[in-house]
Amino acid sequence: MFHCSRRQLLFAAPAMVPFLARRAKAAPTPVSRVAVTACTSYGAALVPALDGLFDSLNIGRLVRGKTVAIKINMTGSPKARVGYVPLEDTVYSHPRVIGAVAYLLSRAGARRIRVLEGAFDCSDPLEEFMLQAGWEPNDILNAAPNVEMENTNIAGVARKYHRFQTAGGGHIFPAFDLNHSFADCDVFVSLAKMKEHATAGITLSMKNCFGSTPISIYGGSAGVDEPNENPRGGRGMFHDGDRQPSRSAPGENEPATNRDPGYRVPRIVADIVASRPIDLAIIDGVRSMAGGEGSWISGVSPVRPGILVAGLNPVSTDAVGMALMGFDPMADRGTPPFETSDNTLRLAEELGVGTRDLSRIEVAGPRIDQLRFDFAGPRKVRRARLQADAHA
């Protein structure tokens, strides 16, 4: 061991500054931890794989004695399958993943679990929407004690909305009015599917929260003054800015800003996660799809990445998710997967949500290069086929 006197240390300190600065620049201190693992099926291997991720993150400390809300992904119509492949293998969060997460969080000490989704184009109970998708909602409701569900497209059982202010004032929206369930919880979980997105480039834990906003206020049939509690339609106003929310909710900071969807959607997603922070981000990449977020995108194809990801910071978790998909989380407009959009991760980072710099993220589990699945590969093949068809 090296020994020196206090006097020697004081005199040596100035000379050490450049050396220490170089060390700090070469190896930044990790500020976030993201756990990754291989998982190739939704069968017996699923619960142990998720359990290992949660152990790496010490989930018990996060959820013990708490009410936990889990925002799942059921984007699009229950009829919008990719070919003959089940929705949960491509478009939706898998029901077995939802049930496994509920079970493991309950086992870790969660007191109450609420499964949430703004189910596509309807105000029906979430259980009814799941039945339309061919699921048995009781499998999820019985996965653990005290599991509930709510369709967050409307005010729901509380009959009122909760206003969430956007940290930093927001890129586009200073605040959002959301279903009470996003406030009536101690821990908020975003359970996403690992997918590309035609408008936003990628859809992971942050883009999953786009569906947290109620279509009663932000949908195509929202009321002019007050929310429409029997709404229909999607969230087109977020894409093209053709209208403002119901006057009961805060409007845009600057209604005359850029109306390009590739500009608006990433910024609105960043605003949403800066207003309702994600406490636990989970990405289901066991099975998914390449080329877009749903069957309505031309040329999409089923894929099997065989990956699960979880982290306590959504920007960092999505950064690792992007890297596992073969993309650079530091990329921006004009670079895959952001050919026509801005990078949501950068925009959320600007609002102080988290870091996308992989050198500042500790990855627990196999190395990224050991699990990486090239989403861009199927994309290149698909584009070549589309070009060939166009010239045929």
Give the list of residues 6+ apart from residue 271 with CB closer than 8 angstroms, or none.
166, 170, 171, 172, 173, 176, 351
Residue with tokens 């229909």: 232
Tell me the percentage of the chain whose pLDDT exceeds 70.
Answer: 89
- At 300-317, the pLDDT tens digits run 999 999 999 999 999 999
**Which pLDDT belongs to residue 23?**
42
- At 335-366, the pLDDT tens digits run 999 999 999 999 999 999 999 999 999 999 99
Min mean pLDDT across 94-108, 111-125, 371-385 is at 371-385
pLDDT band at 20 (very low <50, low <70, confident <90, very high): very low
d(CA 279, CA 184): 14
**Which pLDDT belongs to residue 233?**
80
**Which pLDDT belongs to residue 26?**
53
Mean pLDDT over each residue of the chain, to the nearest integer: 90
Are residues 316 and 366 in contact, defined by beta-carbon separation less than 8 angstroms? no
d(CA 23, CA 304): 40
**Which pLDDT belongs to residue 11?**
40
Residue 164 has pLDDT above 70, yes or no: yes
Higher pLDDT residue, 385 or 294? 294
| Section 165-171 average pLDDT | 96
**Which pLDDT belongs to residue 363?**
98
Two structure tokens written together for 70:
């889990």
Burial 358-378 (b: 16+ CB within 10 A, else e): bebbebbbeebeebbbebeeb
| Section 315-324 average pLDDT | 98
**Which pLDDT belongs to residue 377?**
66
**Which pLDDT belongs to residue 123?**
86
Residue 17 has pLDDT above 90, yes or no: no
**Which pLDDT belongs to residue 69?**
98
**Which pLDDT belongs to residue 158?**
84
Give the pTM: 0.89
**Which pLDDT belongs to residue 234?**
85
